Amino acid sequence: MNRRLFCGLLLPPALSMAAAGEESMRWADESQLGRPYSKDPSVIRFRGKYWLYYSTPTRQVGSDLLNWVVGIAQSTDLVNWRKVGALQPEHDYEGRGFCAPCAMVLADQVHLFYQTYGNARLDAICHAVSSDGLTFRREPSNPIFRPTGDWNAGRAIDAEVVPFRDRWLLYAATRDPEMKIQMLVGASAPRAGGFARDSWTMLADRPLLKPELPWETQCIEAPSVIVRDGALYMFYAGGYNNDPQQVGCARSTDGIRWERIFQEPLLANGKPGEWNSSESGHPAAFVDDDGQTYLFFQGNNDNGRTWHLSFRKLEWQNGIPRLATA
């Protein structure tokens, strides 16, 4: 074990969901498969309501094959959710499915960043915008981002876009050329411009974060980034689905160089018998109007036959996030 790797890292309390207090929300879309199945949450506040965008499978008409689309749910309290719609494929690049949404409110419009699905090395990040949160207009230059360089496979999934200083920062997961190791890549675009394909420039010709800790196994994905006190905090998933996947946290002051805050997961999978014993994964950090931070995530206890969404409140102490215990 590389001792230098752990220098300065903190050890969060080793609490499962039950040990830290039960979550107040657990929800899933059952309309497609007849069983709870929702993944990859992203939450915003828009026009007086909370909106949840998530990945959900849908059956092709006249076929047993499943495609992935983006579902939409609403809530007035973050706890009780009601499905209100779903995006359907409109273009060839969405033909095999699309998922893993990242929603952002900008100038009273909802911007949605998402990935294509089922294309292996050719999966890429796309963008769409909506005035009502339900119907979306696709960016004409879609897909807007795939990484370059011989250190990656050219694939981009799990988009996250955040404003920082005078730039938009885009983070995504990619893989090594052998398609075995999942890691993070980044790009930037001028704040004054749009999100079209030619706006983005790679942040670095290398992975910004790759699996190095034992619990991260061979995968870091699903970055979710917030800005707090002038710094960037990234909540990320370590481990492939049901490895188990768990949630870590890293910090950066420039968006390029990231330092892990913890040696162990901030949010671990549950103990045997708990609802999230197979994983607590794919985080989505949401900062409400009152400044409270919520960490949404997906979980299951049956190796992925079902998937529920939930959240934990976060507390901040000297710039360090902790799971709230009350």
| Residue 63: pLDDT band with limits 50, 70, 90 | low
C-alpha distances in Å from residue 280, one per residue of 42, 55, 164, 187: 15, 16, 28, 27
Looking at the predicted structure, is the pLDDT value of residue 196 above 60? Answer: yes
Extents of the domains making up the chain: 3-323
Exposed/middle/buried for residue 19 (C-beta within 10 Å: 0-12, 13-18, 19+):
middle
Residue 64: per-residue pLDDT: 63
Give me the percent of the chain exceeding a pLDDT of 90. Answer: 88
Cα atoms in the Cβ-side hemisphere of radius 13 Å centred on 232: 23
pLDDT tens-digit map of 221-278:
999 999 999 999 999 999 999 999 999 999 999 999 999 999 999 999 999 999 999 9
Total-model pTM: 0.93
Residue 9: per-residue pLDDT: 52
| Domain 3-323 CATH assignment equals 1.10.10.10 | no
Residue 61: per-residue pLDDT: 58
| Residue 17: pLDDT band with limits 50, 70, 90 | very low
- Which range (31-40, 53-62, 92-101, 265-274) has the least confidence? 53-62
Question: Mean pLDDT over residues 181-204, rounded?
Answer: 97
Residue 199: per-residue pLDDT: 98
C-alpha distances in Å from residue 222, one per residue of 4, 8, 190, 325: 26, 24, 23, 25
Task: Report the C-alpha gap between 307 and 292 in whole angstroms.
Answer: 25
Going across the sheet that includes 157-164, the strands are 157-164, 167-175, 182-190, 201-202
Long-range pairs for 52-61: beta carbons < 8 A, 24 or more residues apart: 52/81, 52/309, 53/101, 53/103, 53/112, 54/29, 54/101, 54/309, 55/99, 55/100, 55/101, 56/29, 56/32, 56/86, 57/32, 57/33, 58/32, 58/86, 59/32
Residue 249: per-residue pLDDT: 98
Looking at the predicted structure, is the pLDDT value of residue 165 above 50? Answer: yes
Looking at the predicted structure, is the pLDDT value of residue 13 above 80? Answer: no
Looking at the predicted structure, is the pLDDT value of residue 4 above 80? Answer: no
Residue 156: per-residue pLDDT: 98
Residue 326: per-residue pLDDT: 61
Task: Report the C-alpha gap between 110 and 123 in whole angstroms.
Answer: 23
Looking at the predicted structure, is the pLDDT value of residue 280 above 90? Answer: yes
* 58: Cβ contacts below 8 Å, ≥ 6 apart: 32, 66, 67, 68, 69, 86
Residue 45: φ, ψ to 5°: -110, 125
